[in-house]
């Protein structure tokens, strides 16, 4: 299930219960910092790693219809049966949509979206977007590259150096059914057409150019033009796209003819074309042709440097950088550990993966905060392994971010009675100092490409 797809399909789904595992210190997830042993102990008490799937007390008695995050996100979303969107986590650029910069350790409704009936959401590194039942979409957070899709990038207000959209603002698109956020760009699926806005580095906007330019005639510094008005992705006009997914700096889509496409950063083989070359327009994956067409209800997922898609008979294929150590997979191959499973949902963090299949949840990857949900005796797993605390019942959806994983389980799940419950003792934290005052999110490389290096060529 791609980020931002919304509630699981099927008349049998009537809402579920959200379970969470992983880190709870959102300001620090994915970062390193020098702390004393006493500070570590104090923070461990206030911000524990939840090593097993855990119920969040805030959602007691609330029917959850979808969960969402993103491989570049340190913040979370959940949508309830009344159409409310809840958000919590890191908020240094207003990516929670509450009109401020306060981190929230306890889920809270996004005030500006009440009454809009949200059906899906997705999170980038410092921005977010949601889809509503009427086909509208709203975005918020950092808008330095136009990734909120509002049609403009406004002058920054001190002490910040970037345009920041503090409250959900309507995007310039209509008839939207799905949204997916990369690090600093956004994709929308509208009536079978794919739209993109934001930073075009590596060709992620799919419009044939990367929007790069020299800072000055006498300079070799590369900058990237902001693209704040959503544009149609080139080369997909003759097909109806059924699903989209966004990784850190690459994009995936498949159509109603059974073809799968990828574009953006080609490093580590994440595009699946056998070479590490960027693509600035969608390019078909050769594997998904003839006898191995992508089914209409296929799963599609993109991680930091990895990609996944279902082929014939529900067989999940993977490609890209799948492990911290080891060779890159340059073209799609079946995930042998998932052969025979009926995969219901799939999600990627930056380097962790979660699958809901049959009556099991399967997780693996380089975990740092217990986000695989195995419990205190097992932290990471190089290969897919059952998340034993969720074995034996239906899990409808999974969502991964940086240092955490969420599960949407059926209320009849037989293991629910065993799950612990947690609520943070620090619901809201004061905003961190702005970058000029030594706060997080300071200087970034040209074009905002800090995570993958600058320049137009892939690794």
In the chain the domains, ranked by start, together with CATH numbers, are 17-33+40-448 (2.130.10.30)
pLDDT of residue 272: 98
CB 229 within 8 A of CB 148: no
Residue 325 burial by Cβ neighbours in a 10 Å radius (0-12, 13-18, 19+): exposed
Map residue 100 onto helix, strand or coil.
coil
- Nearest residue to 170 via CA among 120, 119, 136, 132: 136
In sequence order, the 6+-apart residues with CB closer than 8 A to the CB of 342 are: 314, 357, 358
Distances (CA, A) of 91 to 100, 113, 164: 8, 17, 12
pLDDT in tens, the chain (459 residues): 444 557 675 667 889 999 999 999 999 999 876 454 545 656 678 999 999 999 999 999 999 999 999 999 999 999 999 999 999 999 999 999 999 999 999 999 999 999 999 999 999 999 999 999 999 999 999 999 999 999 999 999 888 999 999 999 999 999 999 999 999 999 999 999 999 999 999 999 999 999 998 887 777 788 999 999 999 999 999 999 999 999 999 999 999 999 999 999 999 999 999 999 999 999 999 999 989 999 999 999 999 999 999 999 999 999 999 998 889 999 999 999 999 999 999 999 999 999 999 999 999 999 999 999 999 989 889 999 999 999 999 999 999 999 999 999 999 999 999 999 999 999 999 887 776 655 665 443 333 333 343 334 333
User: In whole angstroms, what is the distance from residue 293 CA to residue 260 CA?
Assistant: 8
CA 314 to chain centroid, in Å, comes to 23
CB 199 within 8 A of CB 147: yes
Sheet strand arrangement including 137-142: 118-123, 127-132, 137-142, 164-170
Q: What is the CA radius of gyration of the chain?
A: 20
E strand intervals along 247-322: 250-255, 260-264, 279-284, 300-302, 306-310, 316-320
β-bridge pairing 50-56 and 421-422:
parallel
Quickly count: other Cβ atoms within 10 Å of residue 66's Cβ. 27
pTM of model > 0.85 = yes
pLDDT of residue 54: 98
CB 85 within 8 A of CB 75: no
pLDDT of residue 374: 97
pLDDT of residue 12: 79
pLDDT of residue 61: 96
Quickly tell me which residue has 């790069």 as its tokens.
212
E strand intervals along 134-289: 137-142, 164-170, 176-181, 185-190, 193-199, 212-214, 222-224, 226-232, 241-246, 250-255, 260-264, 279-284
Map residue 417 onto helix, strand or coil.
helix
User: In whole angstroms, what is the distance from residue 7 CA to residue 14 CA?
Assistant: 9
pLDDT of residue 97: 98
Structure tokens at 457: 């060529």
């Amino acid at each position: 299930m791609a980020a931002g797809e919304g509630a699981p399909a099927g008349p049998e789904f009537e809402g579920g219960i959200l379970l969470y595992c992983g880190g709870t210190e959102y300001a620090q997830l994915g970062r390193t910092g020098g702390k004393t042993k006493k500070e570590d102990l104090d923070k461990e008490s206030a911000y524990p790693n939840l090593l097993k799937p855990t119920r969040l007390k805030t959602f007691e008695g609330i029917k959850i219809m979808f969960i969402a995050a993103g491989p570049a996100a340190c913040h979370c979303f959940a949508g309830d049966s009344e159409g409310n969107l809840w958000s919590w986590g890191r908020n240094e650029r207003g990516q929670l949509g509450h009109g401020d910069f306060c981190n929230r350790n306890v889920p809270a409704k996004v005030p500006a979206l009440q009454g809009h009936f949200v059906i899906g959401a997705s999170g980038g590194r410092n921005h977010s977007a949601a889809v509503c039942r009427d086909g509208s979409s709203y975005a918020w957070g950092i808008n330095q590259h136009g990734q909120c899709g509002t049609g403009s990038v406004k002058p920054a207000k001190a002490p910040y150096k970037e345009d920041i959209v503090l409250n959900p603002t309507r995007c310039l698109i209509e008839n939207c059914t799905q949204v997916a956020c990369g690090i600093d760009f956004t994709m929308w699926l509208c009536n079978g057409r794919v739209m993109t806005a934001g930073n075009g580095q590596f060709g992620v906007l799919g419009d044939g150019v990367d929007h790069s330019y020299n800072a000055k005639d006498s300079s070799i510094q590369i900058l990237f033009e902001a693209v704040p008005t959503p544009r149609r992705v080139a080369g997909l006009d003759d097909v109806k796209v059924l699903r989209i997914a966004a990784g850190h700096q690459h994009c995936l889509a498949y159509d109603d003819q059974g073809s799968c496409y990828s574009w953006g950063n080609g490093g580590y083989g994440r595009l699946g074309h056998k070479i590490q070359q960027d693509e600035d327009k969608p390019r078909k994956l050769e594997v998904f042709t003839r006898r191995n067409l992508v089914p209409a209800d296929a799963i599609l997922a993109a991680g930091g440097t990895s990609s996944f898609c279902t082929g014939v008979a529900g067989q999940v294929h993977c490609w890209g950088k799948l492990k911290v150590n080891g060779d890159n997979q340059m073209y799609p191959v079946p995930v042998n550990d998932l052969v025979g499973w009926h995969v219901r949902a799939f999600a990627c963090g930056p380097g962790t993966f979660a699958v809901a299949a049959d009556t099991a949840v399967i997780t693996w990857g380089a975990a740092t905060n217990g986000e695989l949900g195995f419990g205190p005796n097992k932290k990471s797993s190089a290969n897919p392994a059952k998340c034993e605390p969720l074995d034996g019942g239906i899990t409808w959806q999974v969502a991964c971010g940086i240092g955490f994983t969420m599960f949407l389980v059926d209320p009849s799940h037989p293991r629910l009675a065993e799950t612990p419950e947690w609520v943070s003792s620090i619901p809201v934290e004061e905003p961190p100092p702005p970058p000029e005052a030594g706060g997080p999110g300071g200087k970034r490389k040209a074009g905002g490409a800090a995570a993958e290096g600058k320049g137009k060529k892939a690794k």
